[in-house]
C-alpha cells in the first residue's frame, strides 16, 4: 500500500523507516556509487531528512519498504537550490506551487508497478496540496524508469554525459496522466483515494477545493 508519512512521524513506523533508509544505502551507495553518508546501521540519510519532509512510501504486506520518494516545498531548504543551482543557470527555484522530489528509491527486488505506484502517490500529493510542479535532480539511469511509468520530466539543465549525466527536471501535474499511471501500477482510483484519505483525512480533490 501507499503510505504518506512526515519525517517527524517516522518513529511510529520503525520497521518501514529502518528498511527504507537501509534500501537507500544499498541503492545510492552500493549500487549507484554515489558519495553519500551511510551510518553503522546501513542507513543513508542527509540533511534534508531533518527538514520534516513528506515521504511517499510503498509498504509491503510484511510492513517493509518497497519503494519511496521524498518531498519538500521549495520555499525552504532544497537539494536543487543548495547543491545543483548551476544546472538551472544559477537561478533558484522557489515557489509555493513547486515542491522538490528527491531520493526516489526502489527496494532491490521491487518491480515497475511499485515505481508506478510511487509516481501515482506523487500525483496525489500534487492534487491534494495544490502543487503544480515537482522539481528534482536525477541521473541518466532514471530516464528509462520515468519513461516506463509515463512520468518523464522537462529537463532544465544537465552536466556530464552518458551514465554520469546529472539533470534537473520539472514534472508538471496533468490530470490525464493519472489514468495512465493507475494502469501501470495495477491500482484502482478508489484504492488510491482510500490510501490518501487514511493519511490526510480527505480525498485529494476535497483538499484542493478547500485550498482554492
Taking only the tens place, the pLDDT of each residue in 107-132 is 999 998 999 999 999 999 999 999 99
Say which residue, 52 or 143, is predicted with more confidence.
52
Q: Which residue has the higher pLDDT, 206 or 73?
A: 73
pLDDT at residue 186, as a whole number: 96
CA distance 112 to 97: 28
Number of residues written out for the chain: 212
* Percent of the chain topping pLDDT 90: 67
Cell of 57: 512510501
**3-class SS of residue 56:** strand
Q: CB-based burial of residue 14 (10 Å sphere; 0-12 exposed, 13-18 middle, 19+ buried)?
A: exposed
pLDDT at 163: 73
What nine digits make up the cell of 195? 490510501
**Averaged pLDDT score across all residues of the chain:** 89
Mean pLDDT of 53-76: 97
Residue-level pLDDT at 211: 41
In this predicted structure, the answer to whether residue 212 has a pLDDT above a threshold of 60 is no
Residue with cell 489514468: 179
Q: Where do the domains of the chain lie, and which CATH numbers do they carry?
A: 2-200 (3.40.630.30)
Residue 160 has pLDDT above 60, yes or no: yes
- pLDDT at residue 202 in the model: 64
**DSSP-assigned letter for residue 7:** G
CA-to-CA separations, 126 to 75, 137, 150, in angstroms, rounded: 16, 18, 16
pLDDT tens, 8-59? 999 999 999 999 999 999 999 999 888 999 999 999 999 999 999 999 999 9
- Angle between helix 189-200 and 112-129 (nearest 10): 60
Backbone angles phi, psi at 71, to 5 degrees: -130, 140
Determine the pLDDT at residue 209.
46
Model-wide pTM > 0.85: yes
In this prediction, residue 141 carries a pLDDT of 75
Amino acid at each position: 500500500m501507499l503510505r504518506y508519512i512526515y519525517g517527524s512521524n517516522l518513529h511510529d513506523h520503525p520497521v518501514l523507516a529502518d528498511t527504507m533508509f537501509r534500501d537507500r544505502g544499498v541503492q545510492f551507495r552500493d549500487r549507484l556509487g554515489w558519495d553519500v553518508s551511510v551510518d553503522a546501521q546501513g542507513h543513508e540519510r542527509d540533511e534534508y531528512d531533518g527538514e520534516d519532509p513528506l515521504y511517499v512510501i510503498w509498504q509491503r504486506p510484511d510492513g517493509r519498504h518497497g519503494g519511496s520518494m521524498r518531498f519538500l516545498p521549495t520555499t525552504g531548504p532544497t537539494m536543487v537550490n543548495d547543491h545543483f543551482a548551476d544546472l538551472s543557470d544559477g537561478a533558484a527555484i522557489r515557489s509555493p506551487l513547486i515542491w522538490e522530489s528527491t531520493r526516489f528509491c526502489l527496494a532491490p527486488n521491487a518491480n515497475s508497478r511499485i515505481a508506478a505506484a510511487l509516481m501515482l502517490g506523487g500525483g496525489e500529493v500534487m492534487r491534494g496540496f495544490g502543487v503544480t510542479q515537482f522539481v528534482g535532480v536525477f541521473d541518466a539511469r532514471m530516464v528509462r524508469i520515468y519513461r516506463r511509468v509515463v512520468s518523464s520530466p522537462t529537463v532544465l539543465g544537465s552536466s556530464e554525459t552518458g551514465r554520469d549525466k546529472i539533470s534537473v527536471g520539472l514534472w508538471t501535474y496533468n490530470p490525464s496522466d493519472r489514468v495512465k499511471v493507475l494502469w501501470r501500477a495495477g491500482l484502482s482510483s478508489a484504492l488510491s483515494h482510500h490510501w490518501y484519505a487514511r493519511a490526510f483525512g480527505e480525498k485529494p480533490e476535497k483538499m484542493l477545493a478547500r485550498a482554492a
